[in-house]
Amino acid sequence: MLSRLRKYEFIDALRGYAILGVLMVHSAQSVQPSHAFLLFAMARGSLGVQQFYIASALTLCLSWQFRSAQEGHPI
C-alpha cells in the first residue's frame, strides 16, 4: 500500500500568487490604477498563468518522484 503523498504548502502559495496576478491583470482592464507601482504590478500579473503552470509541473514531478520509489510502473 502506498504511503500518503507529502503536501508542500509553498506550492499552494505559488498557485495563490499566480491566481492573484491573473486577477490583477483582469482588474487592470476595468480600472486604471493611479499609482505607478500598482500599474507595474498589475501589468506583470500576466505572468501568473505561466507561474501556475510551473507550480503544477513541479507538483507532477514531485508526485512522479514519489511514485517511482513506491511503484514498479509509476507512469
Q: Where are the domains of the chain?
A: 9-70
Position 51 scores a pLDDT of 94
Mean pLDDT, rounded, for 5-32? 88
Sign of CA dihedral 34, 37, 42, 46: positive
Q: Chain-centre distance of CA 28, in angstroms?
A: 20
Global pTM exceeds 0.85: no
Size of the chain in residues: 75
Distance separating alpha carbons of residues 5 and 22, to the nearest angstrom: 29
Distance separating alpha carbons of residues 67 and 73, to the nearest angstrom: 8
Nearest to 43 by CA among 52, 32, 54: 32
- pLDDT tens sequence across 44-71: 888 999 999 999 999 999 888 888 887 7
